[in-house]
Amino acid sequence: MATTQVAQPMTSEQLDQLCINTIRTLSIDAVQAANSGHPGTPMALAPLVYTIWNRVMRFDPQDPIWPNRDRFVLSNGHASMLLWSVLHLTKTQAVNPEYEILGQPSVTLDDIRRFRQLDSKAPGHPEYHWTSGVEATTGPLGQGVATSVGMAIAQKWLAARYNRPGFAIFDYNMYAVCGDGCMMEGVSSEAASLAGHLGLDNLCWIYDNNHITIEGNTNITFTEDIAARFLGYGWNVLRVGDANDIDRIQNALEVFQKTKGRPTFIILDSHIGYGSPHKHDTAEAHGEPLGEEEVRLTKRSYGWPENAKFLVPDGVYDRFAAGCGARGAEARQEWTKLFGAYRTAYPELATEIDQMQRRELPPGWDRNLPTFPADSKGMAGRDASGKVLNVLAQNVPWFLGGSGDLGPSNRTLLTYEGAENLEAETPGGKILHFGIREHSMGAIVNGLSLSKLRAFGATFFIFSDYARPAIRLSAIMELPTVFVFTHDAMGDGEDGPTHQPVEQLASLRAIPGLVVLRPADANEVVEAYRYIMQLRHEPALLALSRQSLPTLDRSKYAPASGVARGAYVLADAPGGAPEIIFIASGSEVSLAVNAHETLLGEGIRSRVVSMPSWDIFEHQTQEYRDSVLPPGVKPRVAIEQASTFGWAQYVGDSGRVIGMKTFGASAPLKELQRKFGFEPERVVAVAKELLGRP
């Protein structure tokens, strides 16, 4: 008589391995189907990511924007299938831009089948705002870990402001996974140095030490003692010698949680493509699909059905629900109950948290913003900015920032009574000192903004080149970050061409979604900030003067509130339509006004258009744009101490641009203005030449 064999239930260890191999095979199948991507790192790091998500992190898949959740950042973003796999297997829910949970999965199995395809929620790299559960866009290597430092600073700041005895409202941790490329990029070094200085013990980087990059083994370029380097930064350094030992991984993560006063760096020794019978320690396995035959062999080595594609075996979803799902739900429910009691005890602070989480501004946020009287001597853009920053920092509790070691020169040091530095001992300070680290400053500001703070970073405009990758990512992520750049043209004359921006305005204006403003006087600076502070999904960049600019008489000329339209008619001539239009930004607006007054005295009708922001102007109606720049008025002169590139769209074939076609020079400002033609006489002469007047 035959006996029926009853399948034995899986042990806990077997279920863990089944989940890990599911992550691996989903990654392999997705890369193979796309014929594009990186299967090796997901194969090697599946045990790590499984351990972080299902054993350690406090993350509720049912509410992926819960304020006190732990954050996970995949800095080696080419391994994005790790993230798409766990977001799918945990059944993380989708959230819309209004922070509403939609009742549908963030990443479906069909999204994974369409990995790297148009409109899939599983793109080639993690994209914030596109897929819920992604904490930061991480494409360029090193950006993710640098951004995580901003997130860690934000948690410390939030805890310092809002936590009260018995109310640990903000006590979450940051987990960032990175690889050799992240460690080679300079931005990670800058950020790690600052994180060590600040003693960010809520921050853990896990370094995939696999010795492989696209060009081959890292021994051709990268042989430093990485552990010694991070010890030198002041980090706690741990090592896990086997990337497949999830108990040792969990133990290391628990050591991190217990470590106080310094961040933790875990070196995880792994093999690219681990699990394949050939263990491809090659760039091929790192950067290309395995191929159908290798896929079958690899699945065979996992004990997986060789021809099954995108298989999620029975028990896997339940395992994630019992781990990440249950732990996250319990933590969120406890927090929600705690926050309800907190709201009763500290209603004003609770309201602040609500407003901040929705990226709203508190009532009266713009009270006491200064208005500057007409003054021919005027005020530098940076000085007006400093006055505004001090008002905003007092009116908006979660508004903070600082400079890349140029605070006194950028005028970004907050000087109001009670303002203090943000340091390890005073994590609730509002004055950040980034040090001479412009690249990581940009990434850290992004991390602060991702944490819902309103943050700014500052330096000289020329050094925006060092911060550019992070500025670009802020635009991709649609973050309301603020970049305050001073010394915007040749005002720093004697320092010479290395310190005089020429091409920066044009190149930054070319970044989609970045609002670039170059105000003409102190009141335009105020209005620029008024506009910027109301942005919720766009980053903004201010280019401000070092030298004093005349404060225009607004009883004679148009009000500075026109800044909110991007460009506006500042001055017009009586007696009909203008014969010629001057268009300028920043310090050159007063130059245009001088030329306008001269022509007016000679009976020539001119118009002055102040154009602080191309981007804002281009978003106005065609009717408004035509009212400012009437199509029928062909003679036009644009004036800007920067590259002429791009101005043709406003002056047309019949116009002229007075700008820079070379780099600057080392000399006093007045000599530079004379040499490069930024003088009233030159502007008048060009206008008359266009009009055919003597």
DSSP per-residue codes, 261-318: SS-EEEEEE--TTBTBTT---SHHHHHS---HHHHHHHHHHHT--TT--S---TTHHH
Tokens representing 47? 């045990």
Averaged pLDDT for residues 488-509: 91
d(CA 344, CA 350): 9
CATH of 12-331, one of 3.30.110.30, 3.40.50.970, 3.40.50.300, 3.30.2290.10: 3.40.50.970
Catalogue the long-range contacts made by 362-370 (C-beta closer than 8 Å, 24 or more residues apart): 362/395, 362/396, 362/397, 364/395, 365/392, 365/395, 365/396, 365/533, 366/395, 366/530, 366/533, 367/395, 368/395, 369/526, 369/529, 369/530, 370/522, 370/526
DSSP assignment letter at 324: I
pLDDT computed for residue 164 by the predictor = 98
The model's pLDDT over 266-314, given as tens digits with 9 standing for 90+, comes to 999 987 554 444 444 333 334 678 899 999 999 999 999 999 999 999 9
Tokens representing 49? 């990511």
Averaged pLDDT for residues 394-402: 98
Averaged pLDDT for residues 467-496: 94
List, in sequence order, every residue forming a beta bridge with 584; answer none if it has no partner.
610, 639
At 212, the amino acid letter reads I
Identical fold for domains 375-550 and 566-691, yes or no, is yes
Averaged pLDDT for residues 88-116: 94
d(CA 234, CA 188): 14
The model's pLDDT over 428-441, given as tens digits with 9 standing for 90+, comes to 999 999 999 999 99
The model's pLDDT over 635-664, given as tens digits with 9 standing for 90+, comes to 999 999 999 999 999 999 999 999 999 999
Averaged pLDDT for residues 32-36: 92
Whether residue 219 has pLDDT greater than 90: no
The model's pLDDT over 461-480, given as tens digits with 9 standing for 90+, comes to 999 999 999 999 999 999 99
Whether residue 189 has pLDDT greater than 50: yes
Task: Provide the pLDDT confidence category of residue 493 given band limits of 50, 70 and 90.
Answer: confident
The model's pLDDT over 592-626, given as tens digits with 9 standing for 90+, comes to 999 999 999 999 999 999 999 999 999 999 999 99
Could you tell me what percent of the chain has a pLDDT over 90? 88
Distances (CA, A) of 367 to 246, 352, 396, 462, 530: 55, 17, 10, 32, 11
Q: What is the pTM (predicted TM-score) of this model?
A: 0.95
Q: Which residues of 577-686 form beta strands (DSSP E)?
A: 580-584, 606-610, 636-643, 656-660
The model's pLDDT over 375-390, given as tens digits with 9 standing for 90+, comes to 999 999 999 999 999 9
Query: Cβ(239)–Cβ(266) under 8 Å?
Result: yes
d(CA 159, CA 464): 31
The model's pLDDT over 657-691, given as tens digits with 9 standing for 90+, comes to 999 999 999 999 899 989 988 999 999 999 999 99
Give CATH superfamily name and number for 375-550: Thiamin diphosphate (ThDP)-binding fold, Pyr/PP domains (3.40.50.970)
Tokens representing 81? 């299938």
The model's pLDDT over 56-76, given as tens digits with 9 standing for 90+, comes to 999 999 999 999 999 999 999
d(CA 557, CA 140): 46
Task: Provide the pLDDT confidence category of residue 366 given band limits of 50, 70 and 90.
Answer: very high
The rounded mean pLDDT for the chain is 94
- Residue 380 phi, psi (nearest 5): -70, 150
**Helices (DSSP H) in 142-205: which residue ranges?**
143-162, 180-184, 186-198
Stretch among 149-163, 203-217, 295-309, 342-356 having the lowest mean pLDDT: 203-217
Sketch the domain layout of the chain as residue ranges.
12-331, 375-550, 566-691
At 401, the amino acid letter reads G
d(CA 306, CA 317): 21
Task: Provide the pLDDT confidence category of residue 17 given band limits of 50, 70 and 90.
Answer: very high
pLDDT computed for residue 404 by the predictor = 96
DSSP assignment letter at 336: H
pLDDT computed for residue 5 by the predictor = 53
Task: List the CATH code of the domain at 566-691.
Answer: 3.40.50.920
CA angle 469, 475, 481 (to 5 degrees): 95
Q: Say whether 288 is catalytic.
A: no
Query: Cβ(542)–Cβ(485) under 8 Å?
Result: yes
pLDDT computed for residue 6 by the predictor = 52
pLDDT computed for residue 69 by the predictor = 98
pLDDT computed for residue 290 by the predictor = 86
Whether residue 145 has pLDDT greater than 80: yes
CA angle 369, 375, 380 (to 5 degrees): 65
pLDDT computed for residue 277 by the predictor = 45
Query: Cβ(446)–Cβ(136) under 8 Å?
Result: yes
pLDDT computed for residue 7 by the predictor = 61
Catalytic residue among 438, 524, 527, 588: 438
List, in sequence order, every residue forming a beta bridge with 399; answer none if it has no partner.
454
Whether residue 265 has pLDDT greater than 50: yes
